[in-house]
Structure 1
Amino acid sequence: MHFAYPARKNSNPPPYLPRSTRWLKIRRRHLKPFAALALAVLGLIWLFSGGSKHKGGRVISGKPAVVVVTVFDGKYDNSPYIKSIRENRSRYAEKHGYGTLLTSASDYDLKGSPASWSKVVAMRHAITKYPDCKYLWYLDQNAFIMNPYLKVEDFVMGSTKLEDTMIKDFPVVPPDSIIKTFANLKGGDVELVLTQDKEGLAAGSFVIRNGEWAKFFLDTWFDPLYRSYNFQKAEAHALEHIVQWHPTILSKLAIVPQRTINAYAGDAHGEQYKDGDIAVLFPHCSGTGDKSCARVSERFSQQWRTSFSKA
């Protein structure tokens, strides 16, 4: 990090000014930083005391309450497996009056970045398409929503629910990150909900409250600087970086138990799915072979349909 050197003193003294004129110049010079500081403080107060609930100077109506976002890789769009995922999202959204953004990674120009970055752009796209939604739930392609009765705004984002489930004063990136989740964060102040698996933060399923903070977070995450770092796990490691080193983001983050929104199926990398969980993900499945996503998901495909038919 480079620090500016102190300015050298000018050996030629300024011309003499009358006392009153000098006083006005000095006062103006000292007032400017105070004015800038005051504006910054007011901006922060606005942002964190309700400004994020406004869109374009008006209050967000919360209709729809939730938008479900999924990005498809486009490789097997006509397969029964992908059609089942699309139907799964649509039926869940229809039941609760939610919106959906079911899009393809090829719809976005990522300027050469890995396709996995498309989830960030898609969330920003969803805010543009549904400017009055209250929450956005990103769920990876290789996942099923299993419990049609659970509503995101209550089960995940309800203030009381968050108070009970968020993991406080805990390493953001386990096991030994020195940066920890806030110990005194209130449920009503949470803007972003994430989970962890055995490898770190898990971005296969996360929820954001719509508003100015959400746009700030997504724009920060997608910053060209982070995309140029060539992180080993692209956007996943970029997320870990900004969450740990940006207090404005960390101060609004709640980490909840993995099975709350991100249970895994037959995977040793995280908590296993149990009946009643809201969703099941297949994060390490492949395109073909015995561990293909279509094969790993088979036992859940009929299960979600049965649950939805009874709901």
Structure 2
Amino acid sequence: MPPRKTSRPPPYAARNQSSSIPIPPALRNILRRATIRTIALGVLGFFTIVWLLRWMGGGSGSAVVIGSGAPVVIVTVIDPKANQGWVEKVKKNREDYAARHGYKTFFPENQDYPLRNSPLSWAKVPAVRHAMSLNPGSTWFWYLDHTALIMNPSIEITSQFLAPARLEKHMIVNEPVVPPDSVIKTFGNLKGDRIDVVVTQDKEGITQSSFVVRNGEWAKFFLDAWFDPIYRSYNFQKAEAHALEHIVQWHGTILAKLALVPQNLFNSYVTGPAHPKDGQYRNGDLVAVFPGCDRDKRSCEDEMRSFFTILEGKPSNSQD
């Protein structure tokens, strides 16, 4: 028979147990404090991540659903140095249109953003990004320059221009991005529901006096890429205009989300280098743009006066 096992531990077990190295009290306290500190840092890191996620989601405990807010936010950057009477009329022009269609407006000042030595015209880019952070539930953000007026308030852009089926009918495909002979052309197989930025061309290139961006992570990427300090430091001749043309031509991820539409849809020129086919303002167009009316000793207020008269329904010979 095999020998019976005893319930008493073998001698070496006791010897091993007794031979373990005792931890000095001072070292034990250091290890205890290190453990507590590690736990505390882990808890702090967890709540920091939770706070960042809530902050990026708009500051609420739950994410805001795109489409739950106003369908369109109209963004116009205001120059605080401009004639305030004229500024108020420009703002009212947007507010009346927005109220008619259930939209919202946003009027930041060009000095609200860290442009450093860049031209003030760059402010339009962070202004749209700012509007997105304030209106996370809205679907579209329409930037409309202060040099433009909405002339046909009966046109509702989401149903008449931006609905996928309508957008596909208006999209200009296989067109040089920079006229007349850019080798980079707009894609020919895009679907309307895949479009996140809608722009127009004038005679010289892509315009920024009026453009539309769909809310979402891609739009944030697009605006951040456009506003990159590297591009602002390039000293492009036309500042943000040439920067936009650069990223559209050299970044396929942007061109793949871009729709080029006829200029007269929402960017008709009263003066300036209008697109020869469809860029000149005509009665009934949604928008009348006076490009450059704030430069070269010109006056937007003077050039818009007769158009304000039309909007206000006054006789054309009115001196008010």
TM range (shorter): 0.7 to 0.9
> In structure 2, the residue corresponding to 1:125 is in which secondary structure?
helix
Asked if 1:137 is matched to 2:145, the reply is no
Correspondence for 2:123: 118
The residue aligned with 1:254 is 259
TM-superposed CA distance for 1:108, in Å, is 1.4
Q: TM-score, normalised by structure 1?
A: 0.77
Partner of 1:180 in structure 2?
185
Q: Is the 8 A contact 2:147 2:292 kept in 1?
A: no
- Measure the CA separation in 1 of the matches of 2:273 and 2:182: 22
Give the aligned residue type for 2:163.
G
Amino acid at match of 2:249: Q
| Corresponding residue for residue 160 of structure 2 | 155
Structure with the bigger percentage of strand? 1
**1:302 is matched with which residue?**
309
1:63 aligns with 2:74: no
Structure 1 residue 77: deviation in Å? 4.0
Contact in 1 for aligned 2:268/2:274 (Cα 8 Å): no
1:206 and 1:215 map into 2 onto residues whose CA distance is 15
Q: Does 1:241 align with 2:246?
A: yes
Q: Which residue of 2 aligns with 1:35?
A: none
Distance 1:155 1:280 in 2: 18
Contact 1:145-1:304 at 8 Å conserved across structures: no
The superposition leaves residues 138-192 of structure 1 with CA deviations (integer Å, 9 ceiling, x where unpaired) of 0000111111111121122111111111100110111110000000011111110
Distance in 2 separating the partners of 1:62 and 1:279: 27
Higher relative contact order (CA 8 A, sep 6+): 1
Change (3 A) 1:236 1:200: same
Matched residues in 1 for 2:296 and 2:177: separation?
Answer: 34
Identity %: 50
d(CA) in 2 for partners of 1:217 and 1:268?
26
**Residues 182-261 of structure 1 aligned to structure 2 (within 5 Å):** 182-261=187-266
Output the CA distance in 1 between the equivalents of 2:280 and 2:247.
28
1:292 aligns with 2:308: no
What is residue 73 of structure 1 aligned with on the other side?
79
- Give the superposed CA RMSD: 1.9
One-letter identity of the residue aligned with 1:64: A
Amino acid at match of 1:213: W
Moved >4 Å (runs of 4+): 54-58
| Structure 2 spans left out of the alignment, 5+ residues | 1-56, 315-320
Residue 222 and residue 288 in structure 1: after superposition, are their counterparts in 2 closer, same or farther (change >3 A)?
A: closer
1:103 matched residue in structure 2? 108
Q: Could you say if the C-alpha distance between residues 62 and 181 of structure 1 is closer, same or farther in structure 2, counting changes exceeding 3 Å?
A: farther
Letter of the aligned partner of 1:111 in structure 2? R
The normalised TM-score by structure 2 is 0.75
Shift of 1:234: 0.7
Counterparts of 1:127 and 1:58 in 2: how far apart (Å)?
12
Contact 1:88–1:145, Cα closer than 8 Å, also in 2? yes
- DSSP 3-state at the match of 2:108: strand
C-alpha contact (below 8 Å) 1:167/1:255 kept by paired residues: yes
> Across the two proteins, how many residue pairs are aligned to each other?
252
Q: Which has more radius of gyration?
A: 2
Shift of 1:262: 0.4
**Residue identity in the other structure for 1:247:** G
Hey, what's the Cα distance between the residues in 2 that align with 1:93 and 1:137?
Answer: 11
Q: Closer, same or farther in 2 for the Cα pair 1:239/1:268, shift >3 Å?
A: closer
- Alpha-carbon spacing, 1:287–1:239, altered in 2? closer, same or farther (3 Å): closer
The question of whether the paired residues in 2 share the 8 Å contact of 1:144 and 1:304 is answered with no
Q: CA deviation at 1:97?
A: 1.4
In 2, the alpha carbon distance for the partners of 1:134 and 1:215 equals 13
Provide the secondary structure at the position in 2 that maps to 1:306.
Answer: coil
Counterpart of 2:51 in structure 1 is none
Q: Are 1:163 and 1:186, in contact at CA under 8 Å, matched by a contact in 2?
A: yes
- In structure 2, what is the Cα distance between the partners aligned to 1:126 and 1:133? 10
- Counterpart residue number, 1:277: 285
Partner deviation per Cα, 1:127-148 (whole Å, 9 max, x = no partner): 0110110000000001111111
Q: Is the 8 A contact 2:270 2:281 kept in 1?
A: yes
